[in-house]
Amino acid sequence: MRNKFSDLMEKARLHDGYFASAPGDRHGMFMITAPWGGQMLIMSSGNGPDAEGWEHVSVSFDKRAPSWREMCWVKAQFWRDDECVVQFHPAGADYVNVHPHCLHLWRHVDGHPTPPKWMLA
Residue 74's SS3 state is helix
Choose among 102, 103, 108: nearest CA to 85. Answer: 108
Query: Taking the model in full, what pTM does it have?
Result: 0.87
Q: What is the DSSP letter of 35?
A: T
> Is residue 106 classed as helix, strand or coil in its secondary structure?
strand
Please list the pLDDT of the chain residue by residue as tens digits (121 residues).
Answer: 998 999 999 999 999 999 899 999 989 999 999 999 999 999 998 767 777 888 999 999 999 999 999 999 999 999 999 999 999 888 888 888 888 899 999 998 887 677 777 777 6
pLDDT value of residue 112: 67
